[in-house]
Amino acid sequence: MKVNAHPDDGQPVIVVEGLVNTFGEHAVHDGLDLTVRRGEILGVVGGSGTGKSVLMRSIIGLQRPSAGRIDVLGRCITESDLEQGIGVRRRWGILFQGGALFSTLTVGENVEVPIKKYYPDLDPEFRAEIARYKVMLTGLPEDAVQKFPSELSGGMKKRAGLARALALDPELLFLDEPTAGLDPIGAAKFDRLTRELKETLGLTVFLITHDLDTLYEICDRVAVIAEKKIIAIGTIPELIATGHPWIEEYFNGPRGRSAQATHMRGDSA
């Protein structure tokens, strides 16, 4: 017996080859290659405007690249029309930066939307039950299920967005700056939640972040975008060992140091 039929075999889940994204004259990506392995949490970092979000949007098919090939879960995204549905979409979940909850629906109804779309034959009561436990699985209180997004705080919106991303029990989870705008306690809790869910549900996580604590605490590998490419990918010590000036500054700056120190303390305790 297995969970979700995907052991941590290190098989590639996302393969990006030679990705080129240009907006007018301006190239955001030029020959970008990236591989995400099954069962890992991959953090993606880079300066503002280096195309982290554009990379994610390309992988999930919202942005058609100018050139290159992207395979997700063994299907080629770049050659198929997402609107027609290629079966991949029910196998991934996406948490957008602001949560992107449907504002006219309650949190519970938000979680029901993907279930209703892909499994319309399920009993409405059962669907509601699934939505409720998913919401509570992300650590929201029970009464949040019947609330509208406008009644929630920023952190609760992110959790609700995560519940919707997990609605179909995906294998692959995309998180776009999940801890941005959260207080340190909320951010740490969200990190822990991501890690727990990854371990319980056997997820592969593609995570864009600026949060150094998140990188140290939960990421198995980190990919650095700069100069229109992935300039380095690996564990944080491996990245620092490359000696690239930007990576050096990123991880050995004052914030990087303090995050590292916290991480060390956490390990020894």
Partner 1 sequence: MQSAAQYLLEDAGEGGQRLVLSGHLTLAAIGPLERALRTLETSVTAIDLAEVEEIDTVGAWVVLRVAREHDSAITGASPEAERLFAALRDIDAEGDTHPHRLPMWERVPLAVGEKVFGARGGVYGVVAFFGQILIAAASLLRRPRRFPFKALIHQMELVGVTALPIIGLMSFLIGIVIAQQGSVQLEQFGAEALTVNLVGRITLRELGVLMTAIMVAGRSGSAFAAQLGTMKLTEEIDAMRTIGISPVEVLVIPRILAATFMMILLGFFAALMAIIGGAVVGQFALGIPFFTFLLRIQEVVPTHDLWVGLIKAPVFGLIVALAGCFHGMQVHGNSEEVGRRTTMAVVSAIFAVIVLDAFFALFFTEIGWG
Binding site for partner 1 (CB under 8 A): 1-5, 103, 106-109, 111-112, 115, 119, 121-123, 126, 128-134, 136-137, 142, 145-148, 150, 166, 168-169, 196, 199-202
Q: In whole angstroms, how close is the CB of 125 to partner 1 at the nearest point?
A: 9
Q: Residues near 247 by Cβ (< 8 Å), separated by ≥ 6?
A: 224, 231, 232, 239, 240
- Compare residues 2 and 265 and give the one whose CB is closer to partner 1: 2
Cβ neighbours for 146, distance < 8 A, ≥ 6 positions apart: 106, 107, 108
Q: Which is nearer to partner 1, 92 or 216 (CB)?
A: 92
Q: To the nearest whole angstrom, how small is the minimum distance from the Cβ of residue 185 to partner 1?
A: 22
Please say which residue, 1 or 185, places its beta carbon nearer to partner 1.
Answer: 1
Q: Please, what is the minimum distance in Å from the beta carbon of residue 197 to partner 1?
A: 8
State the minimum distance, in angstroms, from the CB of residue 21 to partner 1: 28
**Pick 70 or 115: Cβ nearer partner 1:** 115
Dihedral sign for Cα 42, 18, 49, 47, please: positive
Taking the complex as a whole, the smallest distance from the CB of residue 96 to partner 1 amounts, in Å, to 15
Smaller CB separation from partner 1, 147 or 228: 147
DSSP 3-state of 35: strand
Instruction: For the CB of residue 248, give the shortest distance to partner 1 in the complex, in Å.
Output: 37
Q: Which amino acid is at 190?
A: F
CB of 174 closer than 8 Å to CB of 77: no
Query: Could you tell me if 38 and 12 are in contact, meaning their C-beta atoms sit under 8 angstroms apart?
Result: yes
When the beta carbons of 83 and 121 are compared against partner 1, the nearer one is: 121
Taking alpha carbons only, the member of 156, 163, 59, 187 closest to residue 112 is 163
Q: Which amino acid is located at 35 in the chain?
A: T
Q: Classify 222 as helix, strand or coil.
A: strand
Which residues touch 158 (CB under 8 Å, ≥6 apart)?
Answer: 95, 99, 178, 182, 190
